[in-house]
Structure 1
């Protein structure tokens, strides 16, 4: 039963993301990559993919949390970006940063799929 519910919930989340342009986290624009960290990410397809995945999960997660938690997630994102930037050009560090941050959003979405925001 829960698996059958997850697909409609995911589609609803995607629609909500499209309806709330102010909530978006901006993925790295590789054409404008300025820092060594961003250039390293843009030079590695798996890191670009990790950035896109994290960005998508972040934006979906914002729709499954209460307003206070939403603000906390938004406030934490620039902090996380600074932590990722501190990795410099070390790809294992960057991968670990994405993995850790993505896990936060996956947990939020899994909780919503199980218990619902409704």
Structure 2
């Protein structure tokens, strides 16, 4: 796993460098109000890409038990996000809260270093 972490971080760097113009889901297939709002509001779009990238990094580096909790938490968060509908302020707050959690988990994992 110690070799995997630098590769994942490199991928994240490349992804964050080009994420401004695409959501983590296909915008041309967006049907739900929250998805449409994310696709049309660039700051939400950017948050969505950061959230998806951090989620994928954590999914790749966390142990199995941590991966299950991460997925469960993500599903719960997606349900919460859907309740915002097209309300940009609500969506922004939801993303900010989720990103705070994902950033903290990733930061804590990075502090521990390779196992």
Looking at structure 2, the residues matched to 106 and 10 of structure 1 have their Cα atoms a distance apart, in angstroms, of 15
- Give the one of 88, 93, 100 matched to 2:90: 93
Q: How many residues align?
A: 103
Given that residues 5 and 61 in structure 2 are in contact (C-alpha distance below 8 angstroms), is that contact kept between their aligned partners in structure 1? Answer: no
Shift of 1:102: 1.2
2:92 counterpart of 1:77: no
- Give the one of 38, 42, 47 matched to 2:35: 38
Shift of 1:113: 1.7
- Decide whether aligned partners of structure 1 residues 14 and 42 sit closer, same or farther in structure 2, where only a CA change above 3 A counts: same
Structure 1 residues without counterparts, runs of 5 or longer = 1-7, 18-25
Shift of 1:109: 1.3
* Per-residue CA distance 1:64-99 (angstroms, 9 max, x = gap): 322111111112222211100101111111011111
Looking at structure 2, the residues matched to 28 and 16 of structure 1 have their Cα atoms a distance apart, in angstroms, of 18
- Give the one of 30, 46, 49 matched to 1:49: 46
What is the DSSP-based 3-state SS (H/G/I as helix, E as strand, rest coil) of the residue aligned with 1:109?
A: helix
- Give the one of 62, 65, 68 matched to 1:65: 62
Shift of 1:105: 1.4
TM-score (norm 1): 0.76
TM-score (norm 2): 0.77
